[in-house]
Amino acid sequence: MARGNNNKREIQAEETRNRILRAAVKLFARQGYHKTTIADLAQAIQLTSGAVFHHFASKEQILDAVVEWLARGLRVYSDIVEAADRGSHELVLRTIRVMCDHFHRNPEATICLAALATELAGSNHPTEKRLKEVYELFVESFSRALANHPRVKNPRAAAIAFVGSVQGIAIQGLLREGEETIDELAGAFMTLMLEW
């Protein structure tokens, strides 16, 4: 019986940790890491600050967990690129479709890395380095896919620019909610990618 109770408590603890992470992603994306307080997180999921601290020792630990969670999501994009023979319009389209699917499920998660990167860039915060490492996974994959593209002179720069462009679409999708859908913005971007 005690073993069953321990499993139930572990499951509940994991669910609470996930609720805290989802709330942190939403708040970090919308108001920034530095402006988000533990009280904000607690209020967002109707817990006490003490309950949040029971699951995470500090706000910094929450930030680390958020970045790791978002890094797993970014690996999906790297997997798509790794499976491609080479860079192509179809590869770009597939990558953008995945971003749109992610956006429909959790728009804040789609832009949270960009928001954190913007806030922490140049700060020498320990997470700044980790954010670069997370992005580097995709940049390396996409650079390799673009290496044999006849029009791409600097595959690494093109890969970095692509990440910024796709995240920009997501940011504008959130900003212009009710004005233009993410799918319309992505479709308009894809028309720019066609040969003029």
pLDDT tens digits, one per residue of 10-22: 899 899 999 999 9
Task: Check whether 41 has a pLDDT greater than 90.
Answer: yes
Q: Is 16 a domain residue?
A: no
Q: Is 13 a domain residue?
A: no
Q: Is 43 exposed, middle or buried (0-12, 13-18, 19+ CB in 10 A)?
A: middle
**Containing structural domain, residue 66:** 58-193
Q: Which residues contact 116 (CB under 8 A, 6 or more apart)?
A: 28, 33, 63, 66, 67, 127, 131
Identify the CATH number of the domain in which residue 114 sits: 1.10.357.10
Q: Is 7 a domain residue?
A: no
Taking residues 50-57, what's their average pLDDT?
Answer: 95
Averaged pLDDT of the chain:
91
Q: Is 96 a domain residue?
A: yes
Q: Is 46 a domain residue?
A: no
Total number of domains in the chain = 1
Provide the percentage of residues in the chain whose pLDDT is more than 90: 72
pTM score, whole prediction: 0.86
Instruction: Report the C-alpha gap between 153 and 155 in whole angstroms.
Output: 6
Q: Is 131 a domain residue?
A: yes
Q: Is 132 a domain residue?
A: yes
Question: Of 22-31, 32-41, 71-80, 96-105, where does mean pLDDT reach its minimum?
Answer: 71-80
Taking residues 103-132, what's their average pLDDT?
Answer: 93
Q: Is 164 a domain residue?
A: yes
pLDDT of residue 3: 63
